[in-house]
Structure formats: C-alpha cells, structure tokens
Structure 1
Amino acid sequence: GNFSVSLLLPQILVKDAPKASEIDCTRPISLAEAQRAWQLLRPGDMVKPTGDKNQSIVSARLHPGLYKLSDLIDLGMTKAEVQFHLTTTTKSMTEFKLRERAEHVYAEAERVYSFYDLCCQSHLGGDVTKDDRLSEQLATLMNASQQSCAELYECSCPELDQLVKISKASGAIGSRLTGAGWGGCTVSMVPKMLSEKFIESVCREYYEPRGIKNASESLIFVSQPGHPAGLMFLQ
C-alpha cells in the first residue's frame, strides 16, 4: 500500500475550505490542518455524509480507487507540487489511493476520540471493568479499526486477518492489529473468565498448524487496562 500519499491529500481537501487562505500550502500540511481549514472540531466530521447529496467533504472531492499523476494535475496540482509532497521512497509512484487513505485516517482518529470519551464517561460512573455495555462499545470500535486498517489503509496482512478471525471465534469481542510494525501482532478484548480458553484456542487454531509450540509461554500474554500516560511534577 502507498501510505505516504497522505501528504498529498490535504493539498486537495483544503483548496475550497472556508479557511484555506490561512493555510500555507507552500509546505507539506497535515490532514489535521485540512480539518481545521474546514472549521471542524472532530476528525470524523470530514467523512460524515451531509447535505442533499449525502456526501462528506472527503467523498465529494475524491473518488474511490486509483489516481494517476494526470488525475492529480486535473485536480489543480502541478507535477512539481506532487513530487514535492512525496517522500524519497514514494517519488517513483505513478498511482495513488487517496480517498481510501483519507477516510481511514479521519475515521481512525475519530475512533480514538470515541474510545477515550467512552472510557472517561464510564470512569466517572464507577468500575469500568463491570460495564458490559462499555466493553461492547469499545470492542465495536476495535473491530471497525481492524476492518479499516485492512481494507482502506491496507496495513494488515493475510496472517493477521486470520489471527483476528480466530481470536474472535475463540471468545474475543474485539480484535485488531497493533504494534510490532505493521502486520506485527494483535490486541484482543476478551472477558476475563474466558482468557485461558482463549489462549488455548488461539494456540491450537493458529500457532500449532504452523509448527509453533508453547506459544502461550512467549507469544500470548494477558494484560488489563491501566492508567494512561501522565505528567509527574517533582519538587
């Protein structure tokens, strides 16, 4: 997948934004800056359908599928601008996926905010570990994230997709790729009472057919929600 083309996206999305004149497009700008140019508070608003045509800001300006260099020039970018916003490893590219990348980035950022909001709301109300509805809502966000990573951002891989599928069949209510490099590993939300059976099932269905034994001792571990990163002020 071509991930660095996200540097091209803001240039296109910001052109007719209400605050476009306040953005310095002579330098690479971020998708967050494009969002601010549209005066939107949440990233999800960039991909939320509105109006008579039921289109989002992104879908109204970008079609699905591949863009060629000539397509970008038709959108108002010069060849020099395109080259300027590509990295040294992507300058040889001749085709780009723009809408899919934009939809993933904005929707994924919105899922992060939603995950945070749910945790904050539940924390104020008491013990989050006993809130089944919260677990379901968080798991839904995790599953949507995995689907978007696989289909829109294309940073998953067949092995990871299979591991996620097996994890959900083994008792996880939510599962997605995470860390260790793209395609590295998964994180799954599993009811505590099912954790041992979950590990046994994943080892049996995923690792053992690949000739990997004792995966439960080195490749799978149980963790619980903890405190987030914070600041500690020392006297």
Structure 2
Amino acid sequence: MFEAVLFDCDGVLVDSEPITNGVLRQMLNEAGWALSQAECMHIFIGKAVRDERARIERETGKPLTEDWMRAFYARRDQRLRAELQTVPGALQAVAAAHRGTSGRIACASGADRPKVVMQIQMAGMHTYFGDRIFSGHDQPRSKPFPDVYLAAAAHLGADPARCLVIEDTATGAQAGIAAGATVWGYCPEGHGRAFDGLTVARVFRHMDELAQALVL
C-alpha cells in the first residue's frame, strides 16, 4: 500500500509535548513572559522554539541567546528522562510498519536530533529506526515546510507520493502534504479539529488502529 512510513516523534511516538512545553513555559515566565500552559501549547506545539524567536524577544524584551537555549535543552532533557512515556500502542504500530515495508520506516521530527534520538531509545524503538532519524533542525527549513520528510524519503529511496506520514499537529501535517505524501492524523481526543482545512486522508484515535491498518 505504501513504500515507506514516516513518523513524527513528539505526540506520535512519545507523550513529550506536555513535559517540553511545561519547561518552556516556566522558563519564559522566568524571563518575563507570563503565559498559561494552554497558551504555550497553542503557540509552540509542532514548532521549534527558535521558530518563534521574534515573538519571544518581543514578549520578554530580551534576546534569545544560545546560553538560554542550552539551559532550556538541559532542563527539558532532565524532565524527559525522568517522566517520558511512550504513546500507548506506538511501539506495536512502529513494529507493524517495519514489517509491512521491509524496514523502510523513518522518524522525521521538527525537534532537535539529540532529543529525538534520546526519546526513541527510551521508547525501545531504536532497533526499528536505526540511523533513519531526521531532524528539521538539520534541514534548510523545518516544518511546516516539507524538507525533513523529503530528506527521509530520499534516504529510504522512496517516492514521497508513495509514503505515509503519521502526524499529530497541523504544522506537521502541512509538511507531509507539501512533501506530496499521504498524511494520516493521530488525534487521541477524537475530534480531529487540529486538521481542519487540511487534506489529511485519515484521522485515527488509537495507535492500535494504525497497527491494524498497516498489516492489511
């Protein structure tokens, strides 16, 4: 059915978004930008922190320095190591995709590569992905641009039009669509409104639905 399956990481394979955004919100509050957790999630989910550099600098009145980013990464990773949980059923879905494509799967994330590698290892998925882990930070443009998905497809020798992308955010879905792939949206809340107006081919609520679909 598909030549390759390309997975996002945060929110698809691991439940990392509340942890990462919790640390980010705390640090932004400390820097002078008072925003709620819901506001922080709305602004930053699916994006790299640096993508919102201008807004951060405007709201805090301070430059977004490399020292601040290093401190954020350190505090974030400490929390992730202590609290990270795998999305229920994600390991089984990855295994099904690996079997169904003879190993032609990849993780294509908008997050920094060290974080993605760490999370995949913690989730017990490194055996399936190996070196097929791609970060938007390493591409000319990150999501919602298609660069990271095009890089993953090229590495696998797969036609992007024959790739399935699994995403949980509008930003990521836009990247997959722009790459020419088929996008399925993971939406555990069940309403799928995150993908309104986007040509997402299928929305599913549980990872076991994905695992079952990939073995048909």
Q: TM-score, normalised by structure 1?
A: 0.29
**Larger strand proportion of the pair:** 2
**Larger RCO: 1 or 2 (CA < 8 Å, sep 6+):** 2
Q: Which has the larger radius of gyration?
A: 1
Q: TM-score, normalised by structure 2?
A: 0.31
